[in-house]
Amino acid sequence: MKAVWNCSVLAESENTIVVEENHYFPPDSMKAEHFTDSETTTFRVWKGTANYYNAVVDGETNADSAWVYRDPKLEAEKIRDRVAFWKGVEVRET
């Protein structure tokens, strides 16, 4: 799978985990040069607190377009440190 925004690959992996229709990419699949930390967090009862990243490509920013659970609840342990996408980031097969 690959995550693409603004004609650039943000992440690519054959090892994603699907939860609630979202592909969670392993951290080593992310192209670090395309991400900055966001101050945004959200909370899901069974997963815990998500932290967000902004995607940055060619000077354009897609705010809060990726999220990660760094310290998930036990039920969501399999997605610890994995990153999922939304807000116009296309996740598709390679």
Q: Which two tokens stand for residue 69?
A: 């659970």
SS3 of residue 48 by DSSP: strand
Query: Which CATH number covers residue 63?
Result: 2.170.150.40
Q: What is the pLDDT of residues 47-92, one digit of tens each?
A: 999 999 999 999 999 999 999 999 999 999 999 999 999 999 999 9
Relative to beta strand 8-12, strand 17-19 is unpaired
pLDDT score, position 9:
98
pLDDT score, position 94:
87
User: pTM score, two decimals?
Assistant: 0.96
Give the total number of structural domains in the chain: 1
What range does the domain containing 76 cover? 2-92
pLDDT score, position 32:
97
Q: What is the pLDDT of residues 35-48, one digit of tens each?
A: 999 999 999 999 99
- The mean predicted confidence, pLDDT, of the chain is 98
CA distance 52 to 40: 6
